[in-house]
Amino acid sequence: MAYPFAARESAPAASLRSPVGHGCAPWAWRLRRAWDDLLRRVPCDCPLCGGAAAGHLLCGACRDEVSASRAAAAHCPVCALPLRLRGQPCPDCALLRPAFDRVIAAFDYATPGDQLIRHMKSRRRHAHARTLAGLLADAVLAAEPPLPRHTIMVPVPASLGALKRRGFNPAAEVARALARRLPYALRPELLRRTREGRRQARLPREQRLSSVEHLYTCPVPVPGASIAVVDDVLTTGSTLDSIARAFKAAGAASVTGLVVARTPYTDSRPKR
């Protein structure tokens, strides 16, 4: 779907600041929220332990276990990398500040939370996107400072190869579920790939950086926008950095990564 350029030309402020998910009318978004709140009360089995849960979310014990990694450990205030010392940026961010401003992650990529992501992607358990989005929404709502009210959420677009392989884009599924929980607009059309690109999971760390250079573009100006880029896993941060460069070239004031899981430092065979 093309970005509604004519509408933006006539009313740029309203277009960029609307807190309406999916760009629909406020009443439609409220209806969607009410429906989602209702679904969250429907009993189900916990996707991790099989115990009693509701609305495709984790039971309380599993939610606490998955989220514990973020509460207990120190993390880089920029890229959310797990660290030993609090309050300091990681060596990568200290040496060369990335184009994105910060990252909010639901949990560290480790057992048992990583199972949900692997099963969503490899076993096509789409319902897990809702579970993961619930965890990420909790992390976003607890983040300090909070995201600006006029923030626009944009999922990382998948390559055609990945779409053919999986049949869906995990980041888009998480973003769609996230938009039902958070009062931010979802505008996937604001980010495009410029080419197919190489498969990131097969590249070592240093090649990932060069492979995503100029891989993304924002097709319209977004002056002063607060952009939140949604993805399932953040590994080296090279994809988010490339996307942030594209948005800042289009005039965005800030770019935040909203990721379900943050991997520990790795210099080879990243998981994403």
Binding-site ranges for Zn ion (CB under 5 A): 46, 48-49, 51, 59, 62, 76, 78-79, 81, 90, 93
Judged by beta carbon, residue 77 or residue 183, the one nearer Zn ion is: 77
Write down the least CB distance from residue 131 to Zn ion, Å.
10
- 99: which DSSP letter? S
| Closest distance to Zn ion from the beta carbon of 11 (Å) | 38
User: Percentage helix, strand, coil, to 5, in the chain?
Assistant: 40, 15, 40
Cβ 214 vs Cβ 194: under 8 Å: yes
Q: How far is the CB of 95 from Zn ion (least distance, A)?
A: 10
Bridge partners of 105, per DSSP, are 259
Tokens of 62: 């599993």
Q: Checking DSSP bridges between strand 82-83 and strand 102-108, what pairing results, if any?
A: unpaired
Measure the CA–CA gap between 262 and 79, rounded to whole angstroms.
9
Query: Closer to Zn ion at the Cβ: 62 or 212?
Result: 62
**Closest Cα partner for 176 from 189, 159, 188, 162?**
188
Q: Which of 44/220 has CB closer to Zn ion? A: 44
Nearest approach, Cβ of 142 to Zn ion (angstroms)? 20
- Which CB atom, from 200 or from 236, has the smaller least distance to Zn ion? 236
